[in-house]
């Protein structure tokens, strides 16, 4: 098992966290490695990590030249991890290592991703309330019913982090991306401790980025590889609205020819006339953009497949060649 722990200016808590993880794993008979990823810390975090590596050959570390964000830190940690299961947790000791066996027990039930749920949070209200709104919105838009998408305490099977590409704030949406590809996603309630050292590194900007990434995730999971279904849908809406308006104007023009009271009607002087033209042109542009996006997607040979293979009969390698026994 691999523990991937991003850290940013958490020098005071690293040694205690390391000792707790080692203690829990030794008591439970868990074969483990710990991968710290220093995301551009400006305190003594790297020096503390070096001292831990000096006394524990199952601990490794990656140090960034500057702060690249949590998603980049997790991706680097996943790339360095060798375990079949990876557990991610924060380095500030708010996540309790005593929960590790419970994550494994849940995965033994057949789950591929297990997310923690900090039901009782020891954070200020201005962090808790927006987080609850965000979690409700994510569950509503994606259909993945987790109470705490923001929780960094999660367990993944190796195949998950080999398939899912992380960037921006997408690390919190890994369960959503995994569920979209057919993996089983579960959840357990976990303890959450008050912060004892340092201060939180996340503010309002993190929430804004999260909402923007939610839109991206929704589009990726709802319209995988078919941008015309989305962009073309907008195009057809505007095109149809303009078309209906044109029919209405045509009917008014015909009536005006037959009625003396409306003989002086000049359609080009009405606002709806220009609205109809604008809608038709906008709809045509959307549909053209959708077609161009379809052409780009269809000619991109190295894109990630939208499916995930669970098994093959007869057994074959990743290239589809059937394995034979000599």
Domain boundaries, the chain: 2-222, 227-298
CA angle, 139 then 141 then 146, to 5°: 10
Counting as low any pLDDT under 50, the low residues of the chain are: 301, 303, 306-307, 313, 316, 320-322, 324-326
Which pLDDT does position 126 carry in this prediction?
72
Distance of alpha carbon 157 from alpha carbon 178, whole angstroms:
11
Which pLDDT does position 249 carry in this prediction?
83
Which pLDDT does position 272 carry in this prediction?
83
- Cα separations (Å) of 235 from 153, 163, 242, 243? 42, 33, 11, 12
* H/E run at residue 121: none
Pairing relationship of beta strands 113-117 and 154-157 according to DSSP bridges? antiparallel
Which pLDDT does position 97 carry in this prediction?
94
Which pLDDT does position 62 carry in this prediction?
92
Which pLDDT does position 85 carry in this prediction?
95
End-to-end CA distance of the chain: 34
Q: What mean pLDDT, rounded, does the chain reach?
A: 81
Which pLDDT does position 81 carry in this prediction?
92
- Residue 136 CA, distance from chain mean position: 15
Q: Which fold is adopted by the domain 2-222?
A: Spore Coat Polysaccharide Biosynthesis Protein SpsA; Chain A (3.90.550)
DSSP string covering 148-205, please?
A: -TT---EEEEHHHHHH----TTGGGGHHHHHHHTT--EEEEE--BPPP-SS-----HH
Which pLDDT does position 324 carry in this prediction?
46
């Amino acid at each position: 098992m691999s523990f991937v722990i991003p850290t940013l200016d958490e020098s005071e808590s690293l040694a205690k966290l390391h000792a707790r993880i080692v203690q829990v794993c030794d008591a439970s008979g868990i074969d483990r490695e710990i991968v710290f990823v220093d995301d551009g810390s400006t305190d003594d975090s790297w020096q503390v990590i070096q001292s831990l590596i000096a006394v524990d050959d199952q601990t490794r570390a990656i140090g960034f030249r500057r702060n690249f964000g949590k998603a980049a830190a997790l991706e680097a940690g996943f790339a360095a991890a060798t375990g079949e299961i990876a557990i991610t947790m924060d380095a500030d000791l708010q996540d309790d290592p005593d929960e590790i066996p419970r994550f494994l027990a849940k995965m033994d039930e057949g789950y591929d991703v297990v997310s923690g749920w900090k039901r009782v949070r020891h954070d200020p209200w201005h962090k808790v309330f927006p987080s609850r709104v965000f979690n409700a919105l994510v569950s509503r838009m994606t259909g993945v019913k987790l109470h705490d998408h923001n929780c960094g305490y999660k367990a993944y099977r190796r195949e998950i982090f080999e398939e899912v590409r992380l960037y921006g704030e997408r690390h919190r949406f890994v369960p959503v991306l995994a569920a979209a590809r057919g993996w089983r996603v579960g959840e357990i309630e976990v303890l959450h401790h008050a912060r004892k050292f340092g201060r939180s590194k996340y503010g309002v900007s993190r929430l804004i980025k999260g909402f923007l990434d939610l839109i991206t995730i929704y589009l990726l999971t709802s319209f995988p590889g078919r941008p015309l279904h989305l962009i073309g849908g907008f195009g057809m809406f505007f095109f149809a609205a303009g078309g209906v308006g044109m029919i209405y104007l045509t009917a008014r023009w015909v009536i005006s020819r037959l009625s003396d009271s409306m003989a002086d009607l000049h359609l080009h002087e009405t606002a709806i006339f220009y609205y109809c033209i604008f809608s038709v042109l906008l709809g045509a542009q959307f549909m053209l953009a959708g077609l161009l996006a379809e052409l780009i997607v269809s000619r991109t040979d190295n894109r990630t497949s939208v499916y995930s293979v669970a098994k093959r009969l007869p057994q074959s390698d990743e290239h589809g060649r059937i394995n034979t026994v000599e």
